[in-house]
């Protein structure tokens, strides 16, 4: 029916769509894989173990730069004026979370390329011998660079959550749990991505230090589940509009995405797989690939659920 006051099309509360969800996923993947790889490196170093050529670190050196660049490409294409995106690099409104994100990414993106170049130093020097001097300097600064990348990766992971939680009228988004949830799920997709790429391309032995990455999966999955519980229990105590928004996990298409994708693929499958699967399976390629793909899909579902269900309920 036509309204006397005109079309309601422009009043659709869902403004940001799947492109933003995939961008948030990519940024989380990149940040998470960096956090896991650098964490692993520190863990090994503190025990005096060698860190050169670890498959998981090689995997992070691929995922880190590739994921963030794909994510940025999506983000720029989604602007209504993609050819004028440079304005965002020139003007900064520091009350905006997005401006802080731009600053973090401006430093983070070149540094993950440096990280990758140091991991694949031989290959880089083979194709670009003229980089030898620069790489030598970077190698000397490697310790500090890793600390800086770790801090920035934390920033990128958290910022993707604050980006959404700054929108005050959406009860599901406007919570302090969201950045923590996004960081936890970034860690889980980062470790899953690292295991997947390491298993597919870099692993020579069956369990090339995938063991240690597995060890962080439980606390990360626990934190992610806890954040989800906090999010929805918190909504229930935050007034009528927020209470109404809890319907996001009980009714509609996004409830299925939540239970099947986020909870099922993202949390239940990985946890059950690593507790119940027979020992003989645990380090087989097929098993590792299946479980990490399940986690990755789960986190992708989480980003879509948060972006769509989050915007569907307005206070």
Partner 1 sequence: MTKRYVLVHDENKCIGCQACNVACRSENNVPESVTRLQVRIEGPYGNFPHLHFKYNRVSCEQCENAPCVKVCPTGAAYVNDDGIVSINEGKCVGCLYCVAACPYKVRFINPETRVPDKCDFCKESRLARGEEPACVSVCPTDALTFGDANDLNSEVRKLLDTKQNYQQKVNLGTEPRVYRIPSRRGGIKA
Residues that bind partner 1 (CB under 8 A): 3-7, 9-11, 13, 15-16, 78-82, 84-85, 87-88, 90-93, 95-99, 101-102, 166-169, 239, 311, 314-315
Nearest to 158 by CA among 242, 216, 100: 100
Half-sphere exposure of 54 (CA within 13 A, CB side): 24
Nearer to partner 1, 267 or 309 (CB): 309
Measured distance CA(274)–CA(120) in Å, rounded: 31
Q: Which is nearer to partner 1, 80 or 275 (CB)?
A: 80
- Check: CB of residue 170 under 8 Å from CB of residue 311: yes
| Rounded CA separation 143/223 (Å) | 28
Residue number, 87 or 126, with CB nearest to partner 1: 87
CB of 19 to partner 1, least distance (A): 11
Distance, in Å, from the CA atom of 75 to the CA atom of 91, rounded to the nearest integer, reads 18
- CA nearest neighbour of 217 among 225, 205, 208: 225
Q: How far is the CB of 168 from partner 1 (least distance, A)?
A: 5
Least Å distance, CB 137 to partner 1, is 33
What is the per-residue DSSP string for 148-172? HHHHHHHHHHHHHHHHHHT-TT-TT
Compare residues 8 and 137 and give the one whose CB is closer to partner 1.
8
Q: Which is nearer to partner 1, 95 or 144 (CB)?
A: 95
CA distance 249 to 120: 44
Q: Which is nearer to partner 1, 160 or 295 (CB)?
A: 160
Q: Is the dihedral of CA 263, 269, 272, 274 positive or negative?
A: negative
Kindly state the smallest distance separating residue 14's Cβ from partner 1, in Å: 9
What is the closest distance, in whole angstroms, from the C-beta atom of residue 70 to partner 1 in the complex? 18
Least Å distance, CB 68 to partner 1, is: 17
């Amino acid at each position: 029916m036509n309204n006397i006051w005109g079309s309601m099309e422009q009043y659709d509360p869902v403004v940001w769509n799947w492109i933003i969800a995939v961008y948030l996923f990519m940024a989380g993947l990149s940040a998470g894989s960096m956090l896991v790889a650098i964490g692993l490196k520190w863990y090994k170093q503190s025990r005096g173990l060698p860190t050169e050529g670890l498959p998981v670190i090689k995997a992070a050196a691929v995922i880190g730069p590739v994921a963030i660049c794909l994510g940025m490409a999506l983000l720029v294409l989604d602007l209504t004026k993609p050819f004028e995106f440079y304005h965002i690099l020139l003007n900064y409104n520091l009350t905006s979370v997005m401006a802080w994100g731009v600053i973090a990414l401006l430093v983070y993106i070149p540094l993950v390329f440096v990280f990758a170049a140091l991991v694949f130093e031989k290959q880089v020097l083979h194709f670009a011998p003229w980089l030898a001097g620069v790489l030598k300097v970077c190698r000397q600064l490697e310790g500090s660079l890793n600390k800086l990348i770790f801090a920035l990766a934390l920033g990128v992971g958290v910022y993707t959550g604050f980006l959404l939680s700054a929108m005050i009228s959406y009860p599901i988004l406007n919570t302090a749990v969201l950045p923590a949830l996004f960081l936890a799920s970034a860690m889980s997709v980062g470790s899953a991505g690292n295991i997947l790429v390491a298993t597919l391309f870099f692993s020579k032995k069956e369990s090339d230090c995938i063991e240690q990455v597995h060890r962080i999966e439980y606390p990360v999955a626990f934190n992610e589940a806890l954040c989800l519980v906090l999010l929805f229990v918190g909504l229930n105590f935050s007034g009528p509009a927020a209470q109404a928004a809890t319907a996001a996990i009980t009714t509609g298409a996004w409830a299925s995405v939540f239970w099947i994708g986020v909870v099922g693929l993202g949390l239940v499958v990985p946890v059950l797989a690593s507790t119940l699967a027979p020992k003989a399976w645990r380090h087989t390629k097929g098993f590792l690939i299946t479980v990490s793909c399940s986690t990755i899909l789960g986190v992708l579902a989480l980003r879509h659920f948060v972006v769509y269900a989050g915007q569907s309920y307005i206070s």
